[in-house]
Structure 1
Amino acid sequence: MSVVKGLIQSEDNGTISFGDYNLEEKSKLSDFGHKGDLYKVKTFKEITKLEKNGSFVYESVPGTAVNDFEITDEGMSFKVEGTGDAQITVELEGDTEYTVFIDDMNAGKMKTNLAGKLMFSVELDNNEPSPVKIVKNQL
């Protein structure tokens, strides 16, 4: 795993990868097509942000690299790496409870706000990828 040199790319498994936390200056790429959607990525050492069809999807402070990013009806999953701990915000379904797994460990149940934003921190260790899985809780 490593930074995504082209800023964003489609993977053979149907997911996308994006972000380069090594960049000193902000870089962006718009109108990247994947499965009928258009993505926009902004990334550098201080922040990484992803939008899908003009709507917010992912943001990390500081910047990160994200691999195998996938959104499903049940939630989302990805692998994230960076040079230090990251505060991550994602957008899911509004006012909904999810269980967050980081490094295959249950980090607890969290509820999105009305806009669907969910915030959590990931302790990143020396550029090693940390798997994140966010699963919608069934009522």
Structure 2
Amino acid sequence: MSVVKDLLQVESDGTISFGNYELDAKQKLSDFEYQGDIYKVKTYADITKLERNETFVYESVPGTAVNHFKVGDGFVEFTVEGIQDAQITLQMQEDSEYSVLVNGEDAGKMQTNLSGKLVISVELEASKPVSIRVESK
């Protein structure tokens, strides 16, 4: 795994990858079409943010690289990499409970707020991707 040099790309398995935490200055890519939706990514060392159709999807502070990001019926899964611990915010269903798995281990249940934001803290080390799966319960 590594940073996404093109900022946002479609993988051979149909998932998307985005983000480059190695950048010193903010870069963005807009109007990226994927499965009928329009995506926009902003990324650099301090933050990585993904939007779909001008709606929030993902944000990490500091910046991260996200690989094989997949959204399904009731779940989101991806691998994330960065040089230091990150706070990840995902857009999910409002006022709902989710089970969070980090590297396949149960990290507990979490509740979204009224706007549907779910916040996860992840311990990261350079060149060591961490798998995340969030599923509805």
TM-score of the superposition, structure 1-length normalised? 0.97
Aligned to 1:85: 85
Aligned to 2:135: 135
Counterpart check, 1:7 vs 2:7: yes
- 1:126 and 1:21 mapped to 2: Cα distance? 10
Structure 2: runs of 5+ lacking an equivalent: none
Aligned to 1:63: 63
Amino acid corresponding to residue 124 of structure 1 in structure 2: L
- 1:38 and 1:70 mapped to 2: Cα distance? 15
Aligned to 1:115: 115
For residues 68-121 of structure 1, what are the alpha-carbon distances to aligned partners after superposition, in whole Å with 9 as ceiling and x for unaligned?
001111110000000010000000111110000011110000011111100010
Q: CA deviation at 1:130?
A: 0.2
CA-atom RMSD in angstroms: 0.6
Aligned to 2:100: 100
Q: CA deviation at 1:126?
A: 2.3
- 2:36 and 2:59 mapped to 1: Cα distance? 22
Aligned length: 137
Displacement over 4 Å in runs of 4+:
none
Counterpart check, 1:25 vs 2:28: no
Q: CA deviation at 1:127?
A: 2.2
Structure 1: runs of 5+ lacking an equivalent: none
TM-score of the superposition, structure 2-length normalised? 0.98
- 2:19 and 2:86 mapped to 1: Cα distance? 13
- 2:65 and 2:77 mapped to 1: Cα distance? 14
Amino acid corresponding to residue 110 of structure 2 in structure 1: M
- 2:14 and 2:96 mapped to 1: Cα distance? 26
